[in-house]
Structure 1
Amino acid sequence: MRKKLLALAAVGLMATATMTACDDSGDSGEASSGGSTSKISGGGSGARVGVILPDTESSNRWRDEDPKYLKAAFDAQKVPVEIQNAEGDRARFQQIGDQMINSGVKVLIIANLDSASGRAVLAKAREKKIPTIDYDRLTLNGGADYYVSFDNVKVGQLQAYGLINCLRSRGAKNPVVAQLNGSPSDNNAFLFKEGYEGPLTEMYDSAQYTKGPDQWVPDWDNEEAGKIFAQMLDGTPAIRGVLAANDGIGNAVIKVLKQKKLNGTVPVTGQDATLEGIQNILTGDQCMTVYKAVKDEALNAANLAIKLYKNEKPTVPNSLKDPESGAYVPFISLTPKAITLKNINDVVVTDPYIAEDALCKGAYLALCRQHEVGSFADEKASDDEN
């Protein structure tokens, strides 16, 4: 079934996005927001943990959050780490893997760009008897020793129920719902879709909703997502709900809706609780996102790697079946959380993933005050007491 879905996804792609790799001269040891520097931290030789991240375009997390939390976790235990980003280039991903494997890494963590390139890196690590951890994305038939991620089917379910709630609150009658799925090269995209297809199919089968266009977005490319949705809307102007697989795709959809003066009218989902996504929720242009606590994910992966680095045997009670190989991979599964306008403070105050001073400025300052975000909730409570 999965192979059929992969084939259908490949046929359904409207274009193939090309992402340009950085050159090899970026060894300054600092991450660059422009993507010109791929080495984020650590040295290039000797006993250490190696980490390869996928890109800096599909989600800001890969540029801003994961490297920060991973480095902090390793630094706290005084374990040397080298973190590099492949900048969306599969050849570059494998090149980084070769360099790390041949220069003495004791443990390798990868968040793959696709299963083929990820599998190649894992195979070479296995030849050298280097323990491996799939991070966030499972490498199908890759044989990683461990896997750390979220319950990604649950992520999709949260997106579907979020969209259903938003449409219900608007009193939508048999709305046409468009679906923009993630990249067909990312196993997580299939898990998200598995999660949201169930609740949405119930709505289609009961004639409460009408199924609209359904497309995959190659490499999670936000610019391509905008082009795909513009064509969807031109072909199906009656679209009144959009299941967008992450905040980047959601924002691309919102830009198109703004051109048609439909933003805020057509609910759009997201995922990753990015600053941009939370800002879109404040303005009413996005109805929800899904928060995946990157800090927890990074800490769990780092703790596994640190034990392996110290030649200890980690205990992981749960496992996940690889749908291609049939093998069971020891799996640390983390719980995602839906974020709407009502509980934005869960990611600003309770678990400060989004900095209030970054969110509540400029045009968003008044909205933060209106919706009692962060310190404005305390300000409102103080005014009520007086």
Structure 2
Amino acid sequence: MDLDAEAGLKTMLSHNVAPGVSPPRITAAAAERLLERTANPPFFAHSYSFYHNMMHGFSPQDLARFAYEHDLQGVCLHISDGEASSVRRMTPVQRAGFRALLEELGLRLHLEISSTDRKEIDTVVECARSLGAKNLRLYARHEGPLSAVIEKVYRDLAYACECANRYDLQFDYEQHEDLRAGEIAAILARLGDPRMKALFDYSNSLNAYEEPLEALHILAPHIRQAHVKGARKIVEGDGWGQLGVPQGSADDELPGARMLYDLLMLGEREPQVICFALEQEVDYYAPAFRKAGGPADPVIQYREPSETPVDRNKSRDRLLSDERRWAVQQIAWNRSLVASFRALARRMAPERSETERSETDWPRVASLPQAAYGRVV
């Protein structure tokens, strides 16, 4: 195995990693798996990257076209994003048209809600069934003592599991700034339903006073989706807040390379993570919810759904352009990271035949489902 390549990969994977965290064990077999998993990672567009755009005319259809034009495999869409054009407010005819567009472009659709209330679960299930979506994200916003919140979340997710089994759906619970990874893992283990897994967000564990990489490793057996982003930790007394920044920029303090690597490598025979949603959240802010020390059963404060404040130093047109620009930059950064992984893994993998090597080394166009108008009937 090429020792220089191994050292280079370990250097990449150590960027922004907290001291004391062991590097992954890089073997020839691991290099082969990395080559397989980076052949065409399932990158999705996320509607939150266009948070302000979707308040000013950018529609779910525009998000789908963006994903198609940038060779992404699907879209993660909150059912309220897009104002009047949102999935929540679409008529049956409009949903049928949106579903047809997704099928024509060969895109997968994952839907999201910011609640675990039964009424909201029923709403997203109805939207999913009409649009042909199978994967749904949710997170709770309960308040009160932690022990009581955990019981409420368990009951909510048990109801979601009933719906998932009835309608052949999959739910993923996002660690969203209040519960810690171990608490979520315990709820999922208690449910014991394969239709309820976890969505790992790159930065949300900070608000629960937990390092992201530590949270990832605790949740690893349960993770089915991921929200990919850049962020900076903000020390707030005995807790941590977070501020969204362009992923890969000098302000990004997250161990993004290591997290992507670890997520790609999950799953023994097949990739465990089916969606890497590129959720650029520049200027997003969330305060500390959990703190160092404190009582064994801390009080969880109520929170509204996520929002990103308007930068008053910019015109609206500049703000909307910046969002679209940041979204494109994030795609390029993650694909560059994947290309670096592949270049180093190829040097560490066992020798292959000349045919195998030439097929692997030659750059390829992204392997996406063919659009309906491109298929030969």
Give the TM-score normalised by structure 1: 0.29
Task: State the structure with bigger RCO (CA 8 A, min sep 6), 1 or 2.
Answer: 2
Give the TM-score normalised by structure 2: 0.29
